[in-house]
Chains A and B, each alone.
Chain A
Amino acid sequence: MKNRRQMGRGKKGRCRCRMLNEVRPGEKVCISCHHACGAIRQRLLDLGFVPSARVDVIRRAPLGDPIQLKVNNYNVTLRKSEAAQIEIETA
């Protein structure tokens, strides 16, 4: 898995690596790094979204967003916009 990032390409910049929001329910993935910063980053880390942690994508909410994830034995929900800041690789 290549880890090229969207260096300086602005908001619409695309990168070839996968983000957590693209993962389908049922998949198991591994976190490679965060693109968020500040409070969001801290909260994610506190909840166990640390690099190399395993994440199961459980389901999407009935309206498609947010998504429910399982990390270290407990369930956490994230909006897709936040999940889009977490880079993952297939476990």
Chain B
Amino acid sequence: MQKQTDKPSASPSPGGKRKKNLLVGLAGQQNAGKSTTFNMLTGANQHIANYPGVTVDKKSGSYKDEFGKIEIVDLPGTYSLTSFSLEERVSRDFLFTEKPDVLVNVLDASCLKRSLFFTFQLLEMGFPLVVGLNMMDVARQNGLKIDVDKLSHSLGVEVIPTVGRRGKGKKELKQAIRQAAERPRGKVLEITYDDLEPLIADLQEKVESHPDLTTDRPARWLAIKLLEGDSQTEKIINRDPSADDVMVGLNDIRDDFNQQQGLSVADYLVSRREKLAAKIMELCVNDTGAGQETISEKIDRVVLNPIAAPLFLVATVFVIYQLSIVKGYELTKYTWPFLAKVRALAAGLLPDAGLLHDPYVRSMALWMVDSANTLLNYVPIFLILFALIAILEDSGYMARIAFILDKLFHAFGLHGQSTLPFILGGVFAGGCAVPGIMATKGIPDEKSRMATILTVPFMNCLAKIPLYTLLVNIYFVQHKSWVMLFLSTITIFVALLVAKLLTSTVLRNMETAPFIMELPNYHPPTIYGVGQRAIERTWVYIKKVGSIVLAVSVFVFTFLQFPGLGDERQHFYEQEMNTAVEQFYTKIADNPYSEQLSEEVQLVALINFYNDYKQGRLNIKGAKAAKAFDKKIKAKNPDYFLFLKPGKDKAAKKINRALRKLASKRKTLRRKIKEETIGVSILGQVGQAMEPVTQYAGFNWKINVALLSSFAARESSVATLGVLFQQGADESKTLEERMGAESLAGGFTPLHALAVMVFFALYPPCLAATIMVKVQTNSYKWMLFSILFPTTLGLVTASAIFTTGRALDLSGIAMMGIFYGLVALTTLVVGLASSRQKSPDDFSYQAGLPESA
């Protein structure tokens, strides 16, 4: 919240009625520092929504001045206000429908001339304007001396010099906003277009004869836009059937002008604006540093040097990986105990576990808590990752990465700006497809954007890692690092190949845009800006992924439970359990403590007490902490604790032995029940029904079930496998050992594991990511495609690997090498081939355009 520290200096307009609350639009070109100005004005008080019907972000915020609340809407950063791009159309529609009381135009003082083109367009739209002349510090550094008063005089609007990053000019800007809203408009600069003026006047008159047209938009602006051939404006006129006279002869007028001037109307408008901008520049700006190298240019000379550039790039990625993934994982060691405590707390609140069957509420709730914990465990990693990426973006280096890599990406139908989504998605090891897909918004080329959206999910998201780790630790112990290298790079190759395939088939006819990108000056990022972005993206991850995964986990749980065991099997397990309980009682029959356990309820309570203790003890490290933990548990129930730690008490020791045996038996039975339940469950049946198809990839039904449930939420695959591979219920055995033991018997080989891992790498995005695909593409068709295509691709590839490996009797690691070689070679060939020959639809020469002046 913004505090009201500003002194009231804007004198209330005499007699004029004051509008207390104002709506202010914030407009400006990309990289002009609009966001920092926005942050400066609104502080933390902001939120993001979408403009109606489109996926363009609408950021708004507010502050209070002495007279009322000022609501600020941050318009998309665009270079112009034509109807060529979605963002520009959205900005224009917003301005004319919402009619802000004041428009703040943020200009980049260090490239003023270009910014002025945009200002002229805003002036023509006729809104009360305040200019925030941002990046004054950079301009000064570059040797630009700007006469603010003269600039203000030339434009006829207030010009406030600001340095958004340091909050300079905040007070003045706020005052100017208030004043602009209250003061009647003075003499504002009117842009005149000499030779075009008579035509504009004619058309303006025609437009003015239809009052309906000019309620929202000024007549002169409409006339200029019509002459320019602006498609949106033509649509507006055509919508009004009575206004058909406006359009009559418009094409001829344009053609005539073209013939006479040798220049299209649109180009003529630009050239006039250019001349005017040049005139203002000459009047107000003294460039003392012309020809000198700026700091940014000096940095670029090193960073973009042909030899050093790849080194810097690799170093950057390495640092990101080290800090976010490696250090982030270390951080999770400190955060995990909190999550474990939450689970313990939930377990304590829920109804107690039964002997064989837990209350449904208990198992369901714990399943959900576990799902949530797996996701929340990644939060430290994401915070670091997203902060580092925000630093890359804000400093200006991200644009350089796009510049360096564009050729590579372009060869496969992608775009230099696909870099950011891929990094967020987890190029090397760890990321999340959800923020990755969201970040594709910045890619101006629709075709490449679609290709990026559909290939980001191939990146190794954090939730894929546990399964990889599990399988690598069982089947590829000797080749660990090789397999990890294989997994982290194969996905990049596949993503590139798939992008190429898609852009030359299904996406062929999509709209493409040129790679015209500004390399902004380097700026030191602000802590506030970086922190805000990191938290914002992490929050989206928690919200989107969290809510969807939680909701879906309920379904997965249910599908893994129902319809449940038949009465006969149920009865069988109960019998088994009863026998064990009877044995326990026989053993402790003459024990002095037996009275304490005479009721079965007491017995169950004791077993649960024992299990809770063991569970809690797992998270305790060090002798001192263990002692403290023991003390705590003892305090809870000293009687039962004696049975856990009998010490020298012989009778208690006896009970302890019997108890351990009983608990172990109970655990085995419960596992068997779970496995059998999954086997007959809906998901289990589907998994079994799929075996005829998946057998070529070497997947048995257990793997199928794990893969199916992992679609809902990747991280649940390992959990499901944990339940399914549970033979040899000796508690000291890890899942690795259990899977290893069973698979040796079942003939599960490294080749099987390779097929599973490759399938998992190519597997469709998790449900949260597919929903993001829907949001970003605005189409269910593409969402469906993003599920079906990777499934098919994954299954075919995994089958090819497995079946070939089987037929040629190859080991898993040999097959991996062959597959890797093939894919890498194909990528190389395709890449070289497409960078050699320019595809004809990349660009088409438009010959015969009029000669420019």
Using CB atoms and an 8 Å cutoff, list the residues of chain A in contact with chain B. 3, 5-9, 11, 13, 32-40, 42-48, 50-53, 58-59, 61-66, 68, 72-79, 81-82, 84-85
Q: Are A11 and B518 in contact, CB atoms less than 8 angstroms apart?
A: no
Q: Are B519 and A3 in contact, CB atoms less than 8 angstroms apart?
A: no
Q: Are A61 and B406 in contact, CB atoms less than 8 angstroms apart?
A: yes
> Nearest chain B CB to A86's CB is how many angstroms away?
11
Give the chain A neighbours of B642 by CB distance below 8 A: none
Residues B295-326 near A (CB distance < 8 A):
296-297, 300, 304, 306-307, 309-310
Cα–Cα distance between A7 and B114 once the two chains are bound (Å): 32
> Nearest chain B CB to A37's CB is how many angstroms away?
4
Give the chain A neighbours of B513 by CB distance below 8 A: 39-40
Cα–Cα distance between A76 and B517 once the two chains are bound (Å): 6
User: Given that A47-B79, A72-B114, A76-B516 are contacting pairs, would A5 and B404 also be in contact in the complex, using a CB cutoff of 8 Å?
Assistant: no
Which residue from B306, B407, B408, B847 sits with its C-beta under 8 Å from A13? B847
Report the stretch among B604-612, B804-812, B836-844 that lies at the interface: B836-844
Q: Are B840 and A77 in contact, CB atoms less than 8 angstroms apart?
A: no
Interface presence of B9 (CB below 8 A):
no
Report the stretch among B80-88, B457-465, B568-576, B765-773 that lies at the interface: B80-88
> What number of A-B contacts does a CB cutoff of 8 Å give?
153
Q: Are A62 and B845 in contact, CB atoms less than 8 angstroms apart?
A: no
Q: Are B519 and A43 in contact, CB atoms less than 8 angstroms apart?
A: no
Which residue from A35, A53, A68 sits with its C-beta under 8 Å from B403? A68
Give the chain A neighbours of B407 by CB distance below 8 A: 61, 63-66
Instruction: Write the chain A residue with the least CB distance to B281.
Output: A72
Which residue from B404, B843, B849 sits with its C-beta under 8 Å from A81? B843
Cα–Cα distance between A10 and B568 once the two chains are bound (Å): 81
Instruction: Write the chain A residue with the least CB distance to B516.
Output: A43
Interface presence of B653 (CB below 8 A):
no
12 A-B residue pairs with CB within 8 Å: A13-B845, A33-B852, A36-B514, A37-B849, A39-B84, A47-B516, A58-B297, A72-B111, A73-B110, A73-B111, A75-B296, A78-B516
Give the chain A neighbours of B287 by CB distance below 8 A: 73
In the complex, besides A33-B852, A36-B846, A51-B852, 15 extra interface pairs with C-beta distance below 8 angstroms are: A11-B845, A13-B847, A33-B851, A44-B516, A50-B271, A52-B853, A58-B300, A62-B309, A65-B410, A66-B416, A68-B519, A72-B111, A76-B519, A82-B516, A85-B846
Q: Are B517 and A72 in contact, CB atoms less than 8 angstroms apart?
A: no
Cα–Cα distance between A42 and B846 once the two chains are bound (Å): 14
Which residue from B517, B518, B844, B848 sits with its C-beta under 8 Å from A5? B848
Interface presence of B274 (CB below 8 A):
yes
Residues B821-842 near A (CB distance < 8 A):
838, 840, 842
Cα–Cα distance between A62 and B516 once the two chains are bound (Å): 17
Cα–Cα distance between A7 and B847 once the two chains are bound (Å): 6
User: Given that A33-B852, A78-B514, A79-B514 are contacting pairs, would A9 and B847 also be in contact in the complex, using a CB cutoff of 8 Å?
Assistant: yes
Interface presence of B738 (CB below 8 A):
no
Cα–Cα distance between A58 and B113 once the two chains are bound (Å): 20
Cα–Cα distance between A51 and B261 once the two chains are bound (Å): 15
Give the chain A neighbours of B782 by CB distance below 8 A: none
Interface presence of B117 (CB below 8 A):
yes
Give the chain A neighbours of B517 by CB distance below 8 A: 76-77
Q: Are A62 and B85 in contact, CB atoms less than 8 angstroms apart?
A: no
Give the chain B neighbours of A79 by CB distance below 8 A: 406, 410, 514-515
Interface presence of B91 (CB below 8 A):
no
Give the chain B neighbours of A35 by CB distance below 8 A: 845-847, 849
Interface presence of B620 (CB below 8 A):
no
Residues B107-144 near A (CB distance < 8 A):
110-111, 113-114, 117-118, 142
Q: Are A37 and B514 in contact, CB atoms less than 8 angstroms apart?
A: no
Q: Which 9 A-B pairs have the closest CB atoms?
A: A51-B852, A46-B79, A63-B407, A75-B519, A39-B84, A74-B111, A33-B852, A46-B80, A79-B515
Which residue from A5, A40, A43, A68 sits with its C-beta under 8 Å from B304? A68
Q: Are B518 and A85 in contact, CB atoms less than 8 angstroms apart?
A: no
Interface presence of B54 (CB below 8 A):
no
Cα–Cα distance between A44 and B114 once the two chains are bound (Å): 11
Q: Are A43 and B79 in contact, CB atoms less than 8 angstroms apart?
A: yes
Q: Are A62 and B310 in contact, CB atoms less than 8 angstroms apart?
A: yes
Residues B270-289 near A (CB distance < 8 A):
270-271, 274, 287
Cα–Cα distance between A78 and B403 once the two chains are bound (Å): 9
Cα–Cα distance between A48 and B516 once the two chains are bound (Å): 12
Cα–Cα distance between A34 and B304 once the two chains are bound (Å): 28
Q: Are A73 and B852 in contact, CB atoms less than 8 angstroms apart?
A: no
Q: Are A11 and B844 in contact, CB atoms less than 8 angstroms apart?
A: yes
Task: Produce 1/0 per residue, B401-444, CB < 8 A to A.
Answer: 00111111010000010000000000000000000000000000
Cα–Cα distance between A42 and B264 once the two chains are bound (Å): 13
Instruction: Write the chain A residue with the least CB distance to B407.
Output: A63
Q: Are B406 and A5 in contact, CB atoms less than 8 angstroms apart?
A: no
Give the chain B neighbours of A63 by CB distance below 8 A: 404-405, 407-408
Q: Are B79 and A77 in contact, CB atoms less than 8 angstroms apart?
A: no
Give the chain A neighbours of B110 by CB distance below 8 A: 73-74
Q: Are A40 and B842 in contact, CB atoms less than 8 angstroms apart?
A: no
Instruction: Write the chain B residue with the least CB distance to A8.
Output: B847
Instruction: Write the chain B residue with the least CB distance to A50.
Output: B274
Cα–Cα distance between A50 and B269 once the two chains are bound (Å): 11
Cα–Cα distance between A50 and B840 once the two chains are bound (Å): 26
Give the chain A neighbours of B410 by CB distance below 8 A: 65, 79
Instruction: Write the chain A residue with the least CB distance to B269.
Output: A45
Q: Are B518 and A74 in contact, CB atoms less than 8 angstroms apart?
A: yes
Give the chain A neighbours of B408 by CB distance below 8 A: 63
> Nearest chain B CB to A20's CB is how many angstroms away?
12
Instruction: Write the chain A residue with the least CB distance to B845.
Output: A35
Instruction: Write the chain A residue with the least CB distance to B842.
Output: A81
Instruction: Write the chain A residue with the least CB distance to B228.
Output: A42
Q: Are B406 and A66 in contact, CB atoms less than 8 angstroms apart?
A: yes
Cα–Cα distance between A61 and B835 once the two chains are bound (Å): 14
User: Given that A48-B114, A62-B309 are contacting pairs, would A77 and B847 also be in contact in the complex, using a CB cutoff of 8 Å?
Assistant: no
Give the chain B neighbours of A58 by CB distance below 8 A: 297, 300
Cα–Cα distance between A65 and B300 once the two chains are bound (Å): 16
